Structures are given as structure tokens and as C-alpha cells.
Amino acid sequence: MAIYKFYNIQLLPVNTKNYHEVGIEGYCELFVAVDELISKVRQNGEKLSSIASKMRGDMYFAPFSVNIENFPSEDKNKPNKFVRGHFLKFDDVNELVDTESGELEYRSHGNTSSKRFSLEFVFDPARHIMAIHDTRGLPSKNPLIEALMDLLDGHATRLFPKHNLEIEELTAADSVQKFFEEPKKGISSYSGRVTFSNSDDYDSLINDALLPEAKQTEQELKDMSVGKWETKYKSFKDSLMSDLPRMAKIQMMLATLYGNAEARYIAEDGAKKHYHMEDHPVRESLPPQPDGALNHSLGILGLIPIAKERTRVSKEILTQNKSMLESNDNSSTQ
């Protein structure tokens, strides 16, 4: 079965008091602009590499096809929308030479490749999450995000000058669970980053005991138009933190959907370990679908809410680890 990875693509207003989210229509408009650029390149007989993001190893990453699709909703007059298409990762080779002699074997008229990887994607504008086929040729996390930024940011700036484009890979909450549950001698360092969304997703990502504090912090930073929340904690030399600060735990829970976090710690057996959230991306397999390209794409679209759910640190998990989560409170009352 085909496997997909997921990326949160957000257009965030620089001033949350004066500007709002772009909504479904805004995200579709962004991809329409990409489609129009592809059409323009083909009409002008230009190389696809002319609109591509340059990658390492003389490779390029470019949009190849973009389609805005409708499918039925509860309101017959207002169908749901989603975006589907393909990216290409390729090289741009015009000449081939004999390996032994170096003599020219073939010269093309341009726009030719010796390596070409087609990467299917589906984008849900309501959840602003993209599913990309995790197959041969898919760049790793950071090069892929950089390439997507290259392809989308110019259109985003032109269409929505009062918004910033942010892209994050979805990571699995079960990795946070395992980190919380693993017995430790202590933690030497922690760093985390969260990009603030205007949606209410935070409410369902945080457990009830921590929600008021998290919402207060979130709202305070939003009111000041803080776009990113970055945190670092480090123990003294030759010592360890007995636990993560409370706000670091809140940040970790949010980072599965909106950022990244990492920690270095000493396990119970004395081994030095490194938890890196980006090492645990959400992956989902696509089961067999009815015949037809649209049905196939709708099947991929159906994976997106499942993937998003996998970023949520469940309340049951946090209740099981309540002693750890509330350790700061206990120590302060003793």
C-alpha cells in the first residue's frame, strides 16, 4: 500500500487583531496561482526547471500538475473543495556522454531528465494539511519544506501580503508518550518551537488540567502578535534537570502539529539519549480505493483527519503520567 507523510501549510496573519485567516477559498487561490504558473511555462515553451526549487545534487523540485476539485457536502449549493496534483523531483540534463571515452552520445532540445520522480499530493484547504506520497525520490523533511516554501511563498506574499507562510511536518504523539513514560535519571537540555495558529486546535491538543494555563499563554502571545514561541532549557554543568518545566510540556504537546521539540536526557540505565520529534513523522497507508483518479485522491484526503488525530496527545496518556506532569506543583508545595 502507498504511504503518505503530512505537512501543515498555514497562512498566518501578521496582526491577528486586524487580519483574519484566509480560509478555504484563500488556500485554493494559492494553489490556483501555482497552476496558472505551470500553464504559463508550458505555453511559453519554457523549461520546468525555470520555476523549480534547486536542490542538492543538481536536482530540481517543481509543481507538475494542480487541480482544484469539488465533492458533495451537506449544502448542495456549496460543495467541499480540495487540491490534488503532482510534484516532480528531477535533474535537467541536455547532453549524455560515453562514460569511457567522454564522447557526446546524445544532445536533447532541452527540458530533458535522466532522473525523474513523480510525487502525488493532496491538500485539504479546510485543515490546511497536505499529504505527500512517501516514496522513492521524496526529499527528507528540511529540504522538502524549503522547496515547498520556495514554490509557494512568492505567490503567498503577492496574494496575501499581510500573512506569513509557515510549513511544518506532522509528528506522531505516541513518540511524546514514550518520552514521557520512559524512566529517566534526568534531562540535560530541551528546546522547542511552536508556530501559532488562529484555529482552535490547541483546545483539543492540551489536556484539561493544563488547558487554562496553555490558553492564557497562547492568547497573551497572540495579542502581542508573536508568531513563534521558541524555548530553551539547559541544566548546569555536570548536573541534570529533575523534570521538564511545565511550559515545556505544554509546548511539546502543541509541537506535534505546529512545530518541533527535542530533549537530551540520561535514561535509567545511564545511557545518554536524544529525543527528536522530527524523527517521528506521521505516516499513513492508503487502503485499496474504488477505481478512478478522483476516488483515489478522495481516499488520500480521508487520511488527513486520521493523521491530524495522531498528533494529539491523548488525555488518557496524560492522566497516566499525571505524577510527572504535576511534579512541579508537588515540589513547590513541599
**Contact yes or no for 69/299 (Cβ under 8 A):** no
Helices and strands (H, E) in the chain, number of each type: 10, 14
Instruction: Give residue 250's pLDDT.
Output: 81
User: Worst-scoring range by mean pLDDT, 61-70, 86-95, 321-330?
Assistant: 321-330
Mean pLDDT of 248-267: 88
Average model confidence (pLDDT) for the chain? 84
Instruction: Give residue 75's pLDDT.
Output: 82
Q: Is the pTM of this model over 0.85?
A: no
Q: What would the grid cell of residue 171 be?
A: 509528528
pLDDT tens profile 139-183: 999 999 999 999 999 999 999 999 999 999 999 988 888 898 889
Q: Which helix (H) or strand (E) holds 262?
A: strand 259-267
Q: Give the ranges where the chain is alpha helix by DSSP (H).
A: 23-43, 141-159, 173-181, 201-205, 211-223, 246-258, 293-309, 315-320, 322-325, 327-333
SS3 category, 49: helix
All residues at 6 or more sequence positions from 153 whose CB lies less than 8 Å from its CB, including other chains: 165
How far, in Å, CA of 82 to CA of 298, rounded? Answer: 9
Model confidence at 78: pLDDT above 80: yes
How far, in Å, CA of 311 to CA of 92, rounded? Answer: 38
Instruction: Give residue 322's pLDDT.
Output: 41
Single-letter amino acid code for the residue at 322: K
Residue with cell 540505565: 269
How far, in Å, CA of 266 to CA of 274, rounded? Answer: 9
Instruction: Give residue 104's pLDDT.
Output: 59
Q: What would the grid cell of residue 163 be?
A: 500573512
Q: What would the grid cell of residue 3 be?
A: 504511504
214 vs 180: which has the higher pLDDT: 180
Q: What would the grid cell of residue 181 be?
A: 513514560
Of residues 252, 124, 230, the one with CA closest to residue 132: 124
User: Worst-scoring range by mean pLDDT, 31-40, 94-103, 256-265, 281-290?
Assistant: 94-103
Q: What would the grid cell of residue 154 be?
A: 512568492
| Phi, psi torsion values for 333, nearest 5 degrees | -95, -5
CA terminus-to-terminus distance, the chain:
54
